[in-house]
Amino acid sequence: MAVMTAAHSSPEAVEQREMSPIKGAGIEDYAIISNSQTLALVCRSGSIDWLCLPRFDSDACFASLLGTPANGCWRLAPVDEVVHCARSYRDGTLVLETELTCAEGCVRLIDCMHTEEGGYPQLLRLVQGVEGQVRMHMHLCFRFGYGHIVPWVTHATDNRLQAIAGPDRVVLDTPIELVGKDLTTQADFTVSPGDSVPFALTWTPSWSPRLPSVPDVPAAIESETGVLRSWSDRCRKAGPWTDLVKRSLITLRALTNRDTGGIVAAGTTSLPEEIGGTRNWDYRYCWLRDATLTLRALVEAGFTGEAGAWRDWLLRAVAGDATQLRIMYGIAGEQRLAEYELPWLQGYEGSVPVRVGNAASNQLQLDVYGEVINALHLARRHGLAESADGWRLQCLLVRHLEKIWGEPDEGIWEIRGPRRHFTYSKVMVWVAFDRMIRSAEQFGLEGPLDHWREIRSNIHENVCQNGFNAAHGSFMQYYGAKDELDASLLQIPLVGFLPITDERVIGTIAAIEKGLTRDGFVRRYANESDVDGLAGIEGVFLACSFWLVDCMVLQKRLGEARTLFERLLALCNDVGLLSEEYDTGLRRHVGNTPQAFSHVGLVNAAYNLSEALWPGQYRRKSPHRDR
């Protein structure tokens, strides 16, 4: 393929492009690329507006997503106005292809992430001519420290640009002529059909004496295509929803750190749960509450190796003093996730503050004990090799849980208000003891079973007496609540606390459908009651909506379950991604993206529904219930 050299347009045209900010992008307008070390958000416009290097939770060097283009971005786009944009991933991969059409013709932009031979993250971009002669402009603005630090930009060699600030160095390789202007790097070039212009951006430590090797961009893209396609082809079929299940599993892989096995909750921080609001949190960490559902989604789809890596991450992160159990950890198991604000960033569509770190890491959430122990129980049931320390750790956890399970906590949703006796927390405490008993019975493990059975029975009685409101015929969000519902209570039949036929379960599901749905989708709780001490109204919570699908399947309401499930699938953006929530009024994604919890819910609901609709055709290789 021919490589085009730089072709310059008039200074007036260049200035006009520079002064036109990239505005109006919705959260759903972004796709992701990832090398399982970090990820980047790529807008339809051809601009990369979010990139943290070298890890998911590192400082961003492109942060215009939460500010302005002056906070860092990398845009490749035609000079003329784009009149049509079409994009898709190559099947079964994270290689993104975007076709941009303007009056002059059409170009194809191929984006993916790679790992350089030294193990450093590398962002690859390839501009290909499709039709006509299209004048292109590149605008590259490096800003380290979340858009705050201007780096020192020099030529490492004649054809290599490097930007250095503190511990970070990025090296840009491209054959076209680059021009520095107003603390940015720019270029103009023209592509015709058959032409190809490569770009590669590689991170290394600033003190490393070795520069990264010069990549063969087309060959590296093809290599990534082959590796990812081979991996995703292992996905177990899920009826007519196999493609979206595969896309969700690829997204979970994109959110997984391949070195540690930790899965971050999302790839971003501070994307708002309400546009213009203050519910802006950092989700680039690993939550224990995701453990059971994530592990189950992986083993359901046939990815036991990845499930094993996630299990091993859990054991490393949780190991030690049971009294020090956290609700979330850093990618490598770090415990200190201090929360602070970035006042120089104006926030996504004015949604401030922009936060880094997460103060909720210091909260007490009793449910995590149940989720961790349930995850380890599931790992055994699906044949994952037993860890020598796994059972001993579980015994230490329940020994501590015996002492604290009667205390109030902050609950699954990290309420930043007073501690309460949250019903879901107590249900998951019951799960912890139940799974300990079942593991001991099924796998011959040693433990004080009679003692655990007595505690399990006491907890069950406690929840049924204090968490259930007979007047409403439903379990409530917390003990003594008058009418506060919580979508987490949809998990009661899913974890086996009570059967789906129990009148209390039937009443709870009905109450949630009546009191917590908006346009048919499920909210976490009625947050207009200010139960969490924060003002504002968040969107519908997608994971909870998938849980309602699961409950409908158990109730054999298969027509309703399929209808709701397919309405949820319609909320995926054009490349199959889901954020945390959805604003049904604005018809927009809200919250951090892509959200692992949402995609895990999609995978599990797809397998539950496909098996129920076509018994035997998509049967699991192993039992699927949590217990």
Encoded tokens for 555: 């109730």
Task: Reply yes or no on whether the pLDDT at 588 is more than 60.
Answer: yes
Same structural domain, 171 and 291: no
pLDDT of the residue at 617: 76
Same structural domain, 235 and 129: no
Alpha-carbon distances, residue 254 vs 375, 436, 472, 593 (angstroms):
21, 32, 43, 12
Quote the number of domains for the chain: 2
Q: Which residues fall within 8 angstroms of residue 582, CB to CB, at 6 or more apart?
A: 521, 539, 540, 542, 571, 588, 589, 590
Same structural domain, 278 and 189: no
pLDDT of the residue at 54: 96
Domain-located, residue 23: yes
Comparing 236-245, 375-384, 386-395, which segment has the lowest mean pLDDT? Answer: 386-395
Identity of the residue numbered 319: A
Task: Reply yes or no on whether the pLDDT at 6 is more than 70.
Answer: no
Q: What is the mean pLDDT of the segment spanning 14-20?
A: 29
CA atoms within 13 A on the CB side of 426: 25
Whole-number percent of the chain with pLDDT over 70: 93
Q: Is 224 strand, coil or helix?
A: helix
Q: What is the mean pLDDT of the segment spanning 228-242?
A: 94
pLDDT band with cut points at 50, 70 and 90 for residue 298: confident
pLDDT band with cut points at 50, 70 and 90 for residue 368: very high
Domain-located, residue 447: yes
Average pLDDT, the chain: 90
Distance CA 256, CA 199 (A): 25
Residue 561 falls in which region: left (phi positive, over 0), alpha (psi -120 to 50) or beta:
alpha
Same structural domain, 250 and 193: no
Task: Reply yes or no on whether the pLDDT at 45 is more than 60.
Answer: yes
pLDDT band with cut points at 50, 70 and 90 for residue 536: low
Task: Reply yes or no on whether the pLDDT at 529 is more than 80.
Answer: no
Q: List pLDDT tens digits, range 401-449.
A: 999 999 999 999 987 778 999 999 999 999 999 999 999 999 999 999 9
Comparing 139-143, 158-162, 446-450, which segment has the lowest mean pLDDT? Answer: 158-162
Residue 92 backbone dihedrals phi, psi, to 5 degrees: 75, 20
Same structural domain, 347 and 473: yes
Same structural domain, 177 and 293: no
Domain-located, residue 169: yes
Most confident range (mean pLDDT) of 19-28, 545-554, 612-621 is 545-554
pLDDT of the residue at 9: 28
Task: Reply yes or no on whether the pLDDT at 212 is more than 90.
Answer: no
pLDDT band with cut points at 50, 70 and 90 for residue 467: very high
pLDDT band with cut points at 50, 70 and 90 for residue 15: very low
Q: What is the mean pLDDT of the segment spanning 500-523?
A: 97
Domain-located, residue 66: yes
Domain-located, residue 622: no
Same structural domain, 169 and 201: yes
Task: Reply yes or no on whether the pLDDT at 526 is more than 90.
Answer: no
Task: Reply yes or no on whether the pLDDT at 531 is more than 60.
Answer: no
Q: List pLDDT tens digits, range 592-606.
A: 999 999 999 999 999
Task: Reply yes or no on whether the pLDDT at 576 is more than 70.
Answer: yes
Same structural domain, 186 and 255: no
Same structural domain, 591 and 471: yes
CATH of the domain at 98: 2.70.98.10
Candidates 540, 552, 558, 549; CA nearest to 614 is 558
pLDDT of the residue at 398: 95
Task: Reply yes or no on whether the pLDDT at 622 is more than 60.
Answer: no
Domain-located, residue 216: no
Instruction: Report which of residues 621 and 355 the model is more confident about.
Output: 355
User: In terms of residue numbers, what domain contains 79?
Assistant: 11-210
Candidates 330, 335, 313, 319; CA nearest to 261 is 313
The number of beta carbons lying within 10 Å of the beta carbon of residue 496 is: 18
Q: List pLDDT tens digits, range 65-111.
A: 999 999 999 999 999 999 999 999 999 999 999 999 999 999 999 99
Q: Identify whether 54 is preceded by a cis peptide bond (ω within 30 of 0).
A: yes
pLDDT of the residue at 276: 93
Same structural domain, 516 and 386: yes
pLDDT of the residue at 7: 30
Comparing 37-41, 162-166, 378-382, which segment has the lowest mean pLDDT? Answer: 378-382
Q: List pLDDT tens digits, range 102-133.
A: 999 999 999 999 999 889 999 999 999 999 99
pLDDT of the residue at 310: 82
Comparing 93-97, 207-211, 381-385, 451-455, which segment has the lowest mean pLDDT? Answer: 381-385
Last residue of a domain, one of 178, 210, 242: 210
Distance CA 532, CA 418 (A): 8
Residues 522-540, buried b or exposed e (16+ Cβ, 10 A)?
Answer: bbbbbbeeebbebebebbb
pLDDT band with cut points at 50, 70 and 90 for residue 620: low
Same structural domain, 236 and 186: no
CA atoms within 13 A on the CB side of 516: 29
